[in-house]
Structure 1
Amino acid sequence: MTEPTTSPRNVLVTGGNRGIGAAIAQAFLDADDNVAITSRDGSGPEGAIAIAADVTDSASVDAAFGEAEEKLGGPVEIVVANAGITKDTLLMRMTDEEFDQVLDTNLAGAFRCARRASKGMLKLKRGRLIFISSVVGLYGAPGQANYASSKAGLVGLARSITRELGKRNITANVVAPGFIDTDMTRSLPEAQQQQYLAAVPAGRFAQPDEVAEVVRFIASPEAGYISGAVIPVDGGLGMGH
Structure 2
Amino acid sequence: MPARRCLVTGAGRGIGAAVAQRLSAEGHSVALTARSGEELSALAARLPGPSLVVPADLTDPTAADTVISRVEAEWGGPVEVLVLNAGAGTSAPLARTTDEDWARMLELNLTAPFRLLRRALPGMVEQRWGRVVAVASIAAKAGDPYVSAYTASKHGLLGLVRSAAAEVATKGVTVNAVCPGFVDTPMTADTVATISATTGRTEAEARDTLARRQPIGRLIDPEEVADVVLMCVHSSAITGQGLNVDGGTVQS
Aligned-pair distance for 1:71? 2.0
* 1:161-176 matched pairs, under 5 angstroms: 161-176=164-179
Verify the 8 A CA contact 1:24 1:215 in the aligned structure 2.
yes
- 2 CA distance for matches of 1:184 and 1:61? 23
TM-fit CA distance, 1:203: 1.2
Secondary structure (helix, strand or coil) at the match of 1:79 reads: strand
Kindly indicate whether the alpha-carbon contact (under 8 Å) linking 1:11 and 1:78 is maintained by their aligned counterparts in 2.
yes
Shift of 1:34: 0.4
Q: What is the TM-score of this pair, normalised by structure 1?
A: 0.92
Contact between 1:80 and 1:132, CA under 8 Å: does it hold in 2?
yes
CA distance in 2 between partners of 1:154 and 1:186 (Å): 23
TM-score, length-normalised on structure 2? Answer: 0.89
Tell me the equivalent position of 1:82: 85
Q: AA paired with 1:76?
A: V
Assess if the C-alpha contact under 8 Å between 1:137 and 1:147 holds in 2: no
Query: Which residue, out of 214, 220, 227, partners 2:228?
Result: 214
**Contact 2:88–2:187, Cα closer than 8 Å, also in 1:** no
Alpha-carbon distance between aligned partners in 1 of 2:187 and 2:57, rounded to the nearest angstrom:
21
Question: Does residue 239 in structure 1 map to residue 248 in structure 2?
Answer: no
- The alignment of Structure 1 onto Structure 2 pairs a total of residues equal to 233
Whether contact under 8 Å (1:55, 1:112) holds in the other structure is no
Query: What residue in structure 2 maps to residue 51 of structure 1?
Result: 54
Which residue identity lines up with residue 14 of structure 1 in the other structure? T
Query: Any gaps of 5 or more consecutive residues in structure 2?
Result: 193-202
Question: 2:187 matched to which residue of 1?
Answer: 184
1:57 Cα deviation (Å)?
2.2
Given the alignment of the two structures, is residue 12 of structure 1 paired with residue 7 of structure 2, yes or no?
yes
Q: Report 1:110-189 matches (<5 A).
A: 110-186=113-189, 188=192, 189=203
Q: Deviations over 1:109-155 (max 9, x none)?
A: 11001000012112211111111100122122211101111111111
- Alpha-carbon separation, structure 2, partners of 1:185 and 1:164: 34
**Any conservation in 2 of the 1:165–1:171 contact (CA below 8 Å)?**
yes
Partner letter of residue 148 of structure 1?
Answer: T
Question: What is the SS of the residue equivalent to 2:169?
Answer: helix
Q: Percent identity?
A: 38
Alignment check: 8 A CA contact 2:89 2:105 kept = yes
Deviation at 1:91, TM superposition (A): 0.5
**Residue of structure 2 equivalent to 1:196:** 210
RMSD after superposition: 1.3
> Which of the residues 57, 68, 87 maps onto 1:65?
68
SS in 2 for 1:84: coil
For each residue in 1:24-59, what CA deviation from the matched residue of structure 2 results, as whole angstroms up to 9, or x when unmatched?
111101111100011113341123311012222231
